[in-house]
Amino acid sequence: MEMPFTSVDEITALAAACFPLARIAATGIEEDVLELIPWEPAQDAKALAARLHRGEVFDNGVLAMLHDLIGVLDAEITEGTCVQTFFDHSPENVSNDMNWQQGRLTPDADRLSGALAVLLELYAALAAVYDILQAEKALTGLRTAA
């Protein structure tokens, strides 16, 4: 297994990268999410955006709030997605398939999917930092016990 990090500097850089990602995510929440999701999740998203703007990226509960918002956006995007079926019965169609399907997003779902991409990137970076810190803590405990 190839380790994604080879030095403490890379881990620090990943943690530092979470801060600009958080600012971008907060802006995405404010510009593309709040008006497009139901009221209650919007209030939670608004609180998350405020925390991200204040730089509370690694504070307790932020990762869980991100997880919840990602679930809400996923559901809203799924609801705003339809599948169109296209048919081609022309003699020029030499394939075995006479029809195909393509997913289409509503404009609102498209806006939410852009915000979702940034939120997923932030979530992945934060989760990686948390995992590294948890692994370091476990190793410290093992070294102390040995």
Residue 122 has pLDDT above 90, yes or no: yes
Nearest to 66 by CA among 91, 41, 89, 94: 41
Summarize pLDDT for 65-77 with one digit per residue, the tens.
Answer: 999 999 999 999 9
Ramachandran area for residue 87 (φ above 0: left; ψ -120 to 50: alpha; else beta): beta
DSSP state of 55: T
The reported pLDDT for the residue numbered 103 is 87
Residue showing tokens 């380790």: 3
pLDDT in tens, 1-26: 355 665 667 888 889 999 999 999 99
Domain boundaries, the chain: 8-145
Query: What's the count of helices (H) and strands (E) in the chain, helices before strands?
Result: 4, 2
Signed CA dihedral, 46, 51, 57, 63: sign only: negative
